[in-house]
Amino acid sequence: MTKPVQPTMTAAYYAQCVISFAVAIGSVAIGLIFLPVNPWVRAFLAVAVLYTVTSAFGLAKCVRDRQETANMSSRVDQARLDKLLSEHDPYKVDSI
């Protein structure tokens, strides 16, 4: 049996994700700072953005955990199949 290819994250992709996140949060922060509204509206929007960001992190973790669980059960099933195939001898004659 062939081992499935595990996706790897390159350093460039990781850096791109971190920079993208920092730019997005920075842009929202600058927009909130210079927004011509009352301070309590600005604070409400800041809390809403922080809640959205933490919810996105939570969702990403749930998706990752679900994928890892599915991958783990797939590996267990694959190990069982490999064991059955290794123990199977097609030329063995059952005695009566």
- Rounded distance between C-alpha atoms, residue 27 and residue 32, angstroms: 9
> What six digits make up the tokens of 91?
């030329």
User: Positive or negative, the Cα torsion across 53, 54, 59, 62?
Assistant: positive
Residues whose CB falls within 8 Å of the CB of residue 46, separated by 6 or more in sequence, listed in order: 29, 32
Is the pTM higher than 0.75? no
Mean pLDDT calculated for residue range 19-32: 93
Question: How confident is the model over 28-80, as pLDDT tens digits?
Answer: 999 999 999 999 999 999 999 999 999 999 999 988 888 888 777 777 777 78
Q: Note the pLDDT of residue 96.
A: 63
